[in-house]
Structure 1
Amino acid sequence: MTGARKRWSFSRLVFGVVLLGVLVGALVVDGYVSAEFHPDHTAGVGQRTGVPAEVTGGGPIIDTRNGGLRTYRLPTRTIALTFDDGPDPRWTPRVMEVLRRHRVNATFFVVGAQVARHPDLVAALARGGDEIGVHSFTHPHLDRLPRWQRELEYSQTQLAVARVTGRKPALLRLPYSSGTRAVDDADWPLIREAGALGFLSVLIDVDSQDWKNPGTDTIVRTSTPGGDEGSIVLMHDAGGDRAQTAAALDRFIPLMRARGYTFTTVSQGLEKALAGQKAVVDTPAGTVDRRRALALVTAVTLAGWLVDTLRVLLLVVGVLTIARTVVLFLLAGRHARRRRAESWRWGPPVELPVSVIVPAYNEKEGIEAAVRSLAGGDHPGGIEVVVVDDGSTDNTAELVEALGLPDVRVVRVPNGGKPKALNVGVALAGHDLIVMVDGDTVFEPDAVRHLVQPFADPSVGAVAGNVKVGNRGSIVARWQHIEYVIGFNLDRRVYDILRCMPTIPGAIGAFRREALQDIGGISDRTLAEDTDATMALNRVGWHVVYEERARAWTEAPGTLRQLWLQRYRWSYGTMQAMWKHRRSLVDRGPSGRFGRVGLPFVALFSIVLPLLAPLVDILFVYGLFLASWRVTTAAWLAMFAMQVLTAVVAFRLDREKLRPLWVLPLQQFVYRQLMYLVLIQSLGTALTGARLRWHKLHRAGSAGAGAPAVPTVSVVSAPAGGVRSPSGRHQRPVVPRGG
């Protein structure tokens, strides 16, 4: 690898790591600020052996700052309305509207994460004269957190408020707190600790119990203080449907005023209790605080945007997955029923002779089995095999020649790539029906015969065969076997029905010579010459079909690295081919039809859906640790069940045993992620305009491990002036033809 290539690879690696880090960081931030919490009423009261009597018998405002202990009550006939758990984009404005109409200010104990998401609401509260207090950043059970995390809960909320108001609030209401009589041995250390951090703890006198949604009348009744006592009343402007709270508030304020009560904020009530002495309930935010606040709010906002975007994209994935499943079930089933009907015929039996082109570059491991399977085919018209040795440095050509099989020739050319070797083979082929085969592929005895039958229809220019994975011993190969059956062969049935087949596999495909001439032969402008040629055939008006009975067995990569190299080339080559044929989107006639049906289908289901599919796994992990694991697991299992159902249908249509599907669950956690990365790397390479070279895969010659036995072919001498077919009939002399 050159220095420039190494630097490019390293740069992509660094970019990928940074991008992954940003994504993980955003999910963690959003998961942290979106943590679900229970309403305050779920807390119980524990032992109170260590709680001072001054607290349990004192007022709801507890000052433990500077190491002291003082409690305060509001003056008689004074009410401080307090609201917890907001701001909420729906209910906070409703509550604020009622307060403004009655010219009342209240104290809002806010959740910092909500402040970061809805700063405009806090700004509106502050402008209207309402007071802002701290209710933690994520509303956790603070006694279950270490001290440093509790301090973050307070300070982050202060920063979120300071970003909006310019001041850091010092009023604090602990989550899940209540009145002074409910303070227990778990709460008291937290109150003392809060005082040491400069906070004034605010509990309640009266709980409206609006969290129960008991009805407007009940909320008004439970909010009413006894006698003429001053009271801090607890209500909520978030955490559920607060319509009853707003309605009760609209009645409660006039009712209490009629009884001689005045409404105030907590700090104003405290100043009255202190006989006019100033109560310090907030401090100006300094320059450092403002910078930290900006960083915090920006991180939360960006994380929220990113996660919202991911959720939208996940919805797109779900829609595409369901659409693909429905299309597969309807069209693939229709294809299978049509082709398996007793009345189905392509037309009169095709018995014209066939030329098979085998481009071979260092294929010594599998070339002998491949050529024997081709020469042993039972096609009645005869099979000519042309092996084009593309500058092999092993003894590929010698191995083929040593077989001594009839109608098999070896042509040696300097190494020029697979497209060039195919074009040379076509030029030297003696017949007009041409089959192209990879050098590691083993044909079933009847594969060629079945493969050429669609040519009975004069509109058919090319035929895709049914590729099977022969080496299924390793789990990596089994995963590919499943992919071939589901992702390739099932899709080809759909493409056949829609008449927009995008790819004839290099392992087994048949062409009319005339069709190849119409597209100028096999192009070398992409790394997916098979896809490029198939798209070109569609554009010039030839019908490309799928013949499931023509089965060939290929050797799938046996290691993850080899699989990566192969799929990297395939993905990148497919993108090249789509870009090359992009003008078909605006063309008329057959080209336009393919462009407006075939290209979008390939783009959506071969590129967009696989690129977005990782979101399912990412948000699955996110949901397990940072959201509702039950809902997340149920959604993931539903998606997996859909994949299992698709796999069963595909295997049944392809007449495969279901036993290999036991590795499908493992495929979700290893193989799929590898394919994601391959596609992402291919897209990155394509967008940057980098060139990708052809990677030669290592073969073990195991393609035919699962294939039916190939009949033995007798070695016979070809008569002068021609070649002899396996059936013994003479064929016309082999004359090079233009391709």
Structure 2
Amino acid sequence: MTTPVTRGRHNRKKQTRRRRLPMRYLLPFLLLVALLAMLMLRGYVHSEILADHRIQPPAATDQVPEQVLEGGPVIDARSATEPAKTLRIPDHRIVLTFDDGPDPVWTPRVLDKLKEYDAHAIFFVTGTMASRYPELVKRMVEEGHEVGLHTFNHPDLSYQSHARIDWELSQNQLVLAGAAGIRTSLFRPPYSSFADAMDDKSWPVTEYIGSRGYLTVVNNTDSEDWKRPGVGVISKNATPKDGKGAIVLMHDSGGDRSQTVAALGHFLPRMQDKGYEFANLTVALGAPSAHTPVTGLALWKGKAFVHAVDVSEHITDVMAVGLAVIGVLVLTRFGLMLLLSFVHARRVRKRDFSWGEPVTRPVTVLVPAYNERECIANTVRSLVASDYPVEVIVIDDGSTDGTADIVEAMWLPDVRVVRQRNAGKPAALNNGIAHARHDIIVMMDGDTVFEPATVRELVQPFADPRVGAVAGNAKVGNRDSMIGAWQHIEYVMGFNLDRRMYDLLRCMPTIPGAVGAFRRDALDRIGGMSEDTLAEDTDVTMALHRDGWRVVYAENARAWTEAPESVQQLWSQRYRWSYGTMQAIWKHRRAVLDRGPSGRFGRVGLPFVALFMVVAPLLAPLIDVFLLYGLVFGPTQKTVAAWLGVLAVQAVCAAYAFRLDRERMTYLISLPLQQILYRQLMYVVLLQSWITALTGGRLRWQKLRRTGAVEAPGSMPSQRRGSSNDRRPVA
């Protein structure tokens, strides 16, 4: 017996299962989060997030102990009970120190010189550089050099809080653990100099660093190689006086260090000939090694961090390549669109071509409808108001909202209703073709309305016997909302300008489901509307190309369709479109190897569709990703200028498209926002489609909720009662 408690648990389990996020939604989200994390990590290790380039001016020295100001370059402030002490390097010993590395160009050359002369040194590395080039840190340790901390981001620590100082030290140690499996007790403050340069701003930092267990190592001999004064001057500056020991400051990063490398080739053998030894600091002082092996969790945390940095560097490199690719694709597409659309418009304007004798014979208009009660009356009335003889067949695909009853109750002449069980749009269209009386068949959606001249304009190209199908000009009717305005821009610029280009190239990829016409013989030869893909309009268009038919564009055949009015509905529609397009490309992939018209479409049309309808939209958000990256991490001005340049190109194309379609330019005000927000939605939809395709998932046709807000332009015929034969339903 089931108790109420058991039922409650069962219901909670069912609810839990229902709330589970589908993998096709989860994977795009996780991928976006991962990419964002990689970009943030890259900015982090390139000193682009917490970089602080302030440098403290000299201050008073009355708080600095005299023994420090007059002492050696090694400051030991580790004891909490004893005053700080300093250490000097014994005579005839030189401790070479290199700051700011490792650098992928100069550090290996410095290491090569040191190895050539069997000399050792200390490399004070920054965490940002060491995390990007961990193999150089590992080489330093393996070749017997000592490594010290130079902070993670190279800030002037006198400006920083204790928490920030601890963070700089701990992050630097984390990188050393991951790169070489060690931690170090040596530290050199950024922008440091001689011990007598300590002042009331830098000394408290040195005391705090000592309390954390570090020896602070400054220098008493500055080669001034950062000035690039010449090899001879660098070598002279680095030479101790009177045989004294010295800590010599050099750099292996931060710019062109060719003079430093050349100076080492001169300086090392000369000083060795004078009896100098180039030793590590601890060896020179007779102290234990500054390195301590790292094991356990600390070691694995370091390795994980270094590995993550490596991944982020490679991913951002790939993204940079992707950005270059999308830049080329965007400019190529817009260039072709502008050039070919101009040629197309000029041809139409001059009317220097003719399809043949005007087409006047009646045509059949098929209206597949599933639960379209809000729209179907406007749709049918717009067809009856046509200035061209039409037979209208409404195929009710198992509607449950009385769609067919509404059409029958209108009592309109030459309008028939065909009822069928719900089987999908392709099956409905094939059923309509079977009942059609005429040899030219116009297809439209149940939420679309035609202008009076639409059918006439749409069928004129059939005067040319080579034409198998004609694409009309689909336009957004409900464009008053923001999301409607964005789709309006997309339809006018992205779809209709594209169709002008494809019309001239003779590789039209899609007859829009909202407004298209077909020669019945052409449909019969390819087997009618296929149910193999979710984009039956793209599928049938490609099949017609492969069968040798021409597919053309009739820009004056305008149809007004109701676009999705919510993000969820838009997502559902575009998910089906993008996934169906991928299916169609895959289905017709063998056209690339065919001969004749099929091969021409395969080698011209399919690459265009793949590049401009799949690859380009998938990569397009990289433009916005790098915009955000540049705004946060820099260089801001160049990034903004580049993004505005791309936007300007798009604006020019959009303005030209709107001019060709005689649309109001005011809608273009929302273009920048469309590029920032709308493009990201399309990216996620396309990414989800890729994942669905790669994982073998299947996607069913999804019905959008309609409002019936779109009406046919011009006057509507009033309801007229026809004969019973005019409205008789067909089983």
TM-score, with normalisation over the residues of structure 2? Answer: 0.91
- From 452, 456, 462, the counterpart of 1:445: 452
Aligned residue in 1 for 2:602: 595
1:314 equivalenced with 2:319 (yes/no) = no
Structure 1: which amino acid aligns with 2:40? V
The superposition leaves residues 150-174 of structure 1 with CA deviations (integer Å, 9 ceiling, x where unpaired) of: 3343233334334454432211112
Aligned residue in 2 for 1:558: 565
Confirm or deny: 8 A CA contact 2:56 2:158 kept in the other structure: no
Confirm or deny: 8 A CA contact 1:444 1:710 kept in the other structure: no
Q: Per the alignment, do residues 676 and 164 of structure 1 end up closer, same or farther by CA in structure 2, a change over 3 Å counting? A: closer
Aligned residue in 2 for 1:111: 126
1:65 equivalenced with 2:91 (yes/no) = no
**What is the Cα deviation at residue 279 of structure 1?**
4.5
**What is the Cα deviation at residue 61 of structure 1?**
0.9
- From 335, 344, 354, the counterpart of 1:335: 344
Structure 1: which amino acid aligns with 2:379? A
Aligned residue in 2 for 1:728: none
Aligned residue in 1 for 2:57: 44
Instruction: Work out the CA distance in 2 between the residues paired with 1:41 and 1:220.
Output: 30
Confirm or deny: 8 A CA contact 1:389 1:410 kept in the other structure: yes
Aligned residue in 2 for 1:518: 525
Instruction: Work out the CA distance in 2 between the residues paired with 1:418 and 1:199.
Output: 75
Aligned residue in 2 for 1:730: none
Structure 2: which amino acid aligns with 1:395? G
Structure 2: which amino acid aligns with 1:121? L
The superposition leaves residues 472-527 of structure 1 with CA deviations (integer Å, 9 ceiling, x where unpaired) of: 11111001001111211111122222222111111100000001101111122222
Aligned residue in 1 for 2:469: 462
- From 10, 31, 44, the counterpart of 2:43: 31
Unaligned runs of 5+ in 2: 1-13
- From 39, 42, 66, the counterpart of 1:53: 66
Aligned residue in 1 for 2:193: 178
Instruction: Work out the CA distance in 2 between the residues paired with 1:107 and 1:465.
Output: 74
Aligned residue in 2 for 1:576: 583
Aligned residue in 2 for 1:169: 184
| Residue range with higher mean Cα deviation, 17-26 or 353-362 | 17-26
The superposition leaves residues 126-154 of structure 1 with CA deviations (integer Å, 9 ceiling, x where unpaired) of: 33332222212332343444434433432
Aligned residue in 1 for 2:6: none
- From 500, 508, 523, the counterpart of 1:493: 500
Structure 2: which amino acid aligns with 1:511? F
Structure 1: which amino acid aligns with 2:335? V
Q: Per the alignment, do residues 528 and 17 of structure 1 end up closer, same or farther by CA in structure 2, a change over 3 Å counting? A: closer
1:348 equivalenced with 2:360 (yes/no) = no
Aligned residue in 1 for 2:22: 10
**What is the Cα deviation at residue 39 of structure 1?**
11
**What is the Cα deviation at residue 646 of structure 1?**
2.4
| Residue range with higher mean Cα deviation, 597-606 or 711-720 | 711-720
- From 250, 267, 278, the counterpart of 1:235: 250
The superposition leaves residues 70-117 of structure 1 with CA deviations (integer Å, 9 ceiling, x where unpaired) of: 112223454322111111111112222333334432221112333333
| Residue range with higher mean Cα deviation, 579-588 or 552-561 | 579-588
1:85 equivalenced with 2:100 (yes/no) = yes
Aligned residue in 2 for 1:94: 109
SS of the residue 1:569 aligns to:
helix
The superposition leaves residues 275-302 of structure 1 with CA deviations (integer Å, 9 ceiling, x where unpaired) of: xx42542223334443333222222222
Instruction: Work out the CA distance in 1 between the residues paired with 2:414 and 2:507.
Output: 35
- From 142, 151, 156, the counterpart of 2:171: 156
| Residue range with higher mean Cα deviation, 353-362 or 639-648 | 639-648
The within-5 A match list for 1:115-134 is 115-134=130-149
Q: Per the alignment, do residues 588 and 151 of structure 1 end up closer, same or farther by CA in structure 2, a change over 3 Å counting? A: same
Structure 1: which amino acid aligns with 2:376? I
Instruction: Work out the CA distance in 1 between the residues paired with 2:635 and 2:296.
Output: 39
The superposition leaves residues 417-476 of structure 1 with CA deviations (integer Å, 9 ceiling, x where unpaired) of: 221221122122221111101111111121111111111221110000001111111111
Structure 1: which amino acid aligns with 2:308? A
SS of the residue 1:201 aligns to:
strand
Q: Per the alignment, do residues 545 and 633 of structure 1 end up closer, same or farther by CA in structure 2, a change over 3 Å counting? A: same
| Residue range with higher mean Cα deviation, 661-670 or 392-401 | 392-401
Instruction: Work out the CA distance in 2 between the residues paired with 1:241 and 1:261.
Output: 28
**What is the Cα deviation at residue 58 of structure 1?**
2.1
SS of the residue 2:22 aligns to:
helix
Instruction: Work out the CA distance in 2 between the residues paired with 1:719 and 1:305.
Output: 72
Percent identical residues:
53
- From 553, 562, 571, the counterpart of 1:546: 553
**What is the Cα deviation at residue 538 of structure 1?**
1.2
Instruction: Work out the CA distance in 1 between the residues paired with 2:378 and 2:40.
Output: 54
Instruction: Work out the CA distance in 2 between the residues paired with 1:213 and 1:42.
Output: 22
Confirm or deny: 8 A CA contact 2:589 2:602 kept in the other structure: yes
Q: Per the alignment, do residues 348 and 182 of structure 1 end up closer, same or farther by CA in structure 2, a change over 3 Å counting? A: farther
SS of the residue 1:703 aligns to:
coil
Task: Number of aligned residue pairs: give it.
Answer: 715
Q: Per the alignment, do residues 77 and 308 of structure 1 end up closer, same or farther by CA in structure 2, a change over 3 Å counting? A: same
Structure 1: which amino acid aligns with 2:479? R
Instruction: Work out the CA distance in 1 between the residues paired with 2:42 and 2:668.
Output: 37
Instruction: Work out the CA distance in 2 between the residues paired with 1:148 and 1:341.
Output: 74
| Residue range with higher mean Cα deviation, 539-548 or 53-62 | 53-62
Instruction: Work out the CA distance in 1 between the residues paired with 2:403 and 2:231.
Output: 89
| Residue range with higher mean Cα deviation, 8-17 or 682-691 | 8-17
Aligned residue in 2 for 1:362: 371
Q: Per the alignment, do residues 141 and 639 of structure 1 end up closer, same or farther by CA in structure 2, a change over 3 Å counting? A: farther
1:649 equivalenced with 2:656 (yes/no) = yes
**What is the Cα deviation at residue 367 of structure 1?**
1.7
| Residue range with higher mean Cα deviation, 259-268 or 627-636 | 259-268
Instruction: Work out the CA distance in 1 between the residues paired with 2:531 and 2:237.
Output: 82
Structure 2: which amino acid aligns with 1:133? G
Instruction: Work out the CA distance in 1 between the residues paired with 2:273 and 2:155.
Output: 39
Confirm or deny: 8 A CA contact 1:39 1:239 kept in the other structure: no
Confirm or deny: 8 A CA contact 2:439 2:519 kept in the other structure: yes
Confirm or deny: 8 A CA contact 1:40 1:176 kept in the other structure: no
Confirm or deny: 8 A CA contact 1:485 1:650 kept in the other structure: yes
SS of the residue 1:109 aligns to:
strand
**What is the Cα deviation at residue 676 of structure 1?**
1.6
Confirm or deny: 8 A CA contact 1:171 1:202 kept in the other structure: yes
The superposition leaves residues 235-291 of structure 1 with CA deviations (integer Å, 9 ceiling, x where unpaired) of: 11111111122223333345555666553333333x1xxxxx425422233344433
Confirm or deny: 8 A CA contact 1:126 1:165 kept in the other structure: yes
1:268 equivalenced with 2:280 (yes/no) = no
The superposition leaves residues 389-428 of structure 1 with CA deviations (integer Å, 9 ceiling, x where unpaired) of: 2222233233323333332222223332221221122122
Aligned residue in 2 for 1:209: 224
Instruction: Work out the CA distance in 2 between the residues paired with 1:368 and 1:164.
Output: 72
Structure 1: which amino acid aligns with 2:713? P
SS of the residue 1:161 aligns to:
helix
**What is the Cα deviation at residue 638 of structure 1?**
2.6
Instruction: Work out the CA distance in 2 between the residues paired with 1:41 and 1:560.
Output: 46
Structure 1: which amino acid aligns with 2:378? A
TM-score, with normalisation over the residues of structure 1? Answer: 0.90
Q: Per the alignment, do residues 586 and 625 of structure 1 end up closer, same or farther by CA in structure 2, a change over 3 Å counting? A: same
Confirm or deny: 8 A CA contact 2:53 2:155 kept in the other structure: no
Confirm or deny: 8 A CA contact 2:396 2:404 kept in the other structure: yes
Confirm or deny: 8 A CA contact 2:79 2:211 kept in the other structure: yes
- From 680, 685, 688, the counterpart of 2:692: 685
**What is the Cα deviation at residue 307 of structure 1?**
2.2
Aligned residue in 2 for 1:731: none
SS of the residue 1:278 aligns to:
coil
Confirm or deny: 8 A CA contact 1:375 1:713 kept in the other structure: no
Confirm or deny: 8 A CA contact 1:317 1:613 kept in the other structure: yes
Confirm or deny: 8 A CA contact 2:53 2:156 kept in the other structure: no
The superposition leaves residues 625-645 of structure 1 with CA deviations (integer Å, 9 ceiling, x where unpaired) of: 234333333332233223222
